[in-house]
Structure 1
Amino acid sequence: MRSTVGLVCLGEAGNFGDDLILIAGVSAIASAQDDVKVRYLSFGKPVDWSTISTRLRIPLDPTPIRPGRDLPGSRRNEMSFQGCGAVLFGGGGLLQTSHHPHTPYQWLSFLPRHLPAAPVLAAGLGLGPLSADWRRRLRERGLPFDECYLRDADSVAFAEQQLGWRVKRCRDFVDPAFLAHLGVRARSGRPGRPRSLGVALRRWPGLGVTDTARHIGRVAEAHGVDTVCLFVLEAGAGGPDVTFTEEVCRQLGPRDATVLPYVGVDLLDFADAMAECSVAISMKLHSSALWAAMDVPIYPISYAPKTASFFGQPFDGLKIYDQILEPAVDEDWVPRAAEVVSGWLRRALSGQVPVTRAVLTDGDKLRLQTSRTVVNVYRKLGRSLSAR
């Protein structure tokens, strides 16, 4: 009988880093066992699985699942992966409350709750920031996964000290080995190629358009680049990162500069364009990961613990670095996320992983569904009033 594995992640939502995680997760599942089926969450902006399969030399044909409305009393989310032999959760920053007070519930709601419940592995996952309410809830309920591997030391410390979880470390899904397997290779420095400055920004409180443009200009002058390419990794439908990046680009004056928003079906072309850069200014975690894998010198802009941790720096708020920083190097004992997934799935699909994780009670689920619905209604109403 053909095994099915579910994948809970922010896939096909117009985010370059999350789509790389999706692809890495699907390929790790496929490498664990022959003839395995994959079901994954999709948010409607598909990647080109045929071209990606050709690059990876793995026949990938995963089945997308479109999330529905999780109204009070609904079981739609938890039934999405009911019947799967195992579920992979992550990586990325799924458990955080930066953008919505109930983001952790949004993702945990997809984990099957009723017998026969599949074992769940969290891998390549980052934690936080989490509100006091969610820290208390996750601490009291216990670990919602049967095994948990976090992608950085700060997340591990947070899980152990703030949540009381027993967790392990692994590397991020988007690492040099994965990018090499995907065929993304450095292209700068080849004869006849212009020198280019790659920039990856996001709109963030305290980051001004004028100061950012001046910083880009100083770096461009210091390195004598011919062109500047501003990559928008989370483009959506003309979202805030797009408008912010376009505003910055307009302030670069007569300099040869272009804005390149990410589109899922063009993921490989987008990655290849980033690999052509000679030097980079990087604010996004996975732009830093790609440029680091290409040995591109990086001037970081840090806005969160995860971006500071990537460069081995303490996080003390938004910071624009005016010097090149080397990425932190994982110690040899820290396994790759793909290796963790492959090994765990072989055990899980052969029935060797008992289900011991904490699950939401019916009462908790209904309260969270109701609270989340209320927040969403108020936010929608606020947007509607502000648009008038």
Structure 2
Amino acid sequence: MKIALLGYFGFGNAGDEAILAAEIAALRAAFAAEVPAGGSPGASANQAEPTFVVISGDPDHTRRTHGVDAVSRTDVRAVLAVLRESAALVAGGGSLLQDVTSARPVAFYAGTMLAARAVGTPVFVYAQGLGPVRRPVNRALTGAALRASRYVALRDADSVALAERLGVRHVDLVPDPVLGLDLSAGRPPSLGGERPRLAVALRPWAGSEDWLPAVRSALADLAPEADVVLVPFHAGQDADLARELAADLGSGAEVVDVGAAGRAGHRAALDAVAGATAVLGMRLHALIAAAGAGRPFVALSYDPKVTAFADRVGQPVAATLPGPSGSTVDRAELRENVVAAVRKALQGPDQSYLDRLAALRADAARPATTIARSLLAH
């Protein structure tokens, strides 16, 4: 059974590659669990076993990294052929349907979802973060694509509320799929060494001349207390900043070279986070990976999705960074907040945090199970 996968895949973003890896693993496990239980009457296990084709920005990289077939998202003919041949289109996760960065994401992702429906292929929305969607035409497209989907699972309450305003019924609120990944391979045998490790996953963002000096100063204060590991979750966007911060901190800082890690590029970033004592991050999936590994984290929020996840798992947001509107932050307050929150995180996770994570992990596979049952029943 061929399943097409649609997302921000093949662009060097460790978070989105982790989403893809998590979805493939969860779907394989869900189909394997359903078929022996009689989930596909009259079908053999071989007939029901899923195969995947990813609509990707870099098909060769996707094939090498994930071991599945892929087509270029810019090859319209190939994409349409995949949609016709597939038993389903799974769209997500990630923040696909939003028009903050530009108007193009909604046109591409919603257009692909509607094209799948036009050729009779069912669409399943897998743990997406929805919005913001500001332009009226994009709101119309987003609503149409979601309403045409057989199943819609979204990853936060704000996304669910927006979907309901767009006329979507029966939305499933689920955790991000990366919470379902097994990150134990990235953990060192013991975290009880001489010095704790602090993984730092920052990204370029508006107003950096205002907030970045405060974060740099906070890291300098923390460096004598912990080994600092800079983790560029998006190799193309974050690596220069990571190297700059490492140079400021001196020989005690390390940069994870995810670009040189080849097939295991996204895994190198995940393992660096899982192997840390605590995480300071802006990148959402650095924080989700920290949670998946049971590591406490401190968020620097540049986007409501970061704040929403931190609130959901009960971890601190040291500051909400200025956006493109040009607002500012108090540098001294930001520095103090980061230092205090990270010092607390380096002491280890509290039980209430671990309890929340256990409940979320139990729900992370629900979209995959729902998709498998739906496809095997038809």
Cα gap change, 1:108/1:349 in structure 2, threshold over 3 Å: closer, same or farther? farther
- Alpha carbons 1:275, 1:290 under 8 Å: kept: yes
User: What is the aligned partner in structure 1 of residue 90 from structure 2?
Assistant: 88
TM-score (norm 2): 0.75
Counterpart Cα distance in 2 of 1:80 and 1:174: 25
User: What is the aligned partner in structure 2 of residue 338 from structure 1?
Assistant: 365
Counterpart Cα distance in 2 of 1:95 and 1:348: 24
Cα gap change, 1:258/1:141 in structure 2, threshold over 3 Å: closer, same or farther? closer
Cα gap change, 1:305/1:296 in structure 2, threshold over 3 Å: closer, same or farther? same
Counterpart Cα distance in 1 of 2:73 and 2:28: 23
What is the CA-CA distance between 1:120 and the residue it aligns to? 0.8
User: What is the aligned partner in structure 2 of residue 207 from structure 1?
Assistant: 208
1:177-192 equivalences in 2 (<5 Å): 177-180=180-183, 183-187=184-188, 189-190=190-191, 192=193
SS at 2:244 equivalent: helix
Cα gap change, 1:32/1:297 in structure 2, threshold over 3 Å: closer, same or farther? closer
- CA shift digits 1:288-341 (9 cap, x unpaired): 111223333322111101100111189965475522578693795996342222
What is the CA-CA distance between 1:255 and the residue it aligns to? 4.8
User: What is the aligned partner in structure 2 of residue 249 from structure 1?
Assistant: 246
Asked if 1:150 corresponds to 2:154, the answer is yes
Counterpart Cα distance in 1 of 2:110 and 2:145: 12
Moved more, 96-105 or 269-278: 269-278
CA root-mean-square deviation: 3.1
Asked if 1:119 corresponds to 2:122, the answer is yes
Moved more, 17-26 or 164-173: 164-173
Q: Which amino acid aligns with 2:26?
A: A
User: What is the aligned partner in structure 2 of residue 258 from structure 1?
Assistant: 254
SS at 1:229 equivalent: strand
Q: Which amino acid aligns with 1:11?
A: F
Counterpart Cα distance in 1 of 2:205 and 2:360: 35
Q: Which amino acid aligns with 2:15?
A: G
Counterpart Cα distance in 1 of 2:255 and 2:289: 18
- CA shift digits 1:178-224 (9 cap, x unpaired): 224xx435327545564322100000002334222112223334xx1
User: What is the aligned partner in structure 2 of residue 384 from structure 1?
Assistant: none
Q: Which amino acid aligns with 2:375?
A: A
- Alpha carbons 2:110, 2:142 under 8 Å: kept: no
SS at 1:92 equivalent: coil
- CA shift digits 1:244-267 (9 cap, x unpaired): 222333333x35112224235123
Cα gap change, 1:157/1:68 in structure 2, threshold over 3 Å: closer, same or farther? same
User: What is the aligned partner in structure 1 of residue 35 from structure 2?
Assistant: none
- Unmatched tracts of structure 2, length 5 or more: 32-44, 323-328
What is the CA-CA distance between 1:99 and the residue it aligns to? 2.0
Counterpart of 1:42 (choices 31, 46, 56) is 56
- CA shift digits 1:122-150 (9 cap, x unpaired): 01100122223322443477624221010
Give the number of equivalent residue pairs: 325
Q: % of aligned pairs identical?
A: 24
1:363-382 equivalences in 2 (<5 Å): none
Asked if 1:284 corresponds to 2:311, the answer is no
What is the CA-CA distance between 1:26 and the residue it aligns to? 1.3
- Alpha carbons 1:82, 1:117 under 8 Å: kept: yes
- Unmatched tracts of structure 1, length 5 or more: 53-60, 352-388
- Alpha carbons 1:170, 1:335 under 8 Å: kept: no
TM-score (norm 1): 0.73
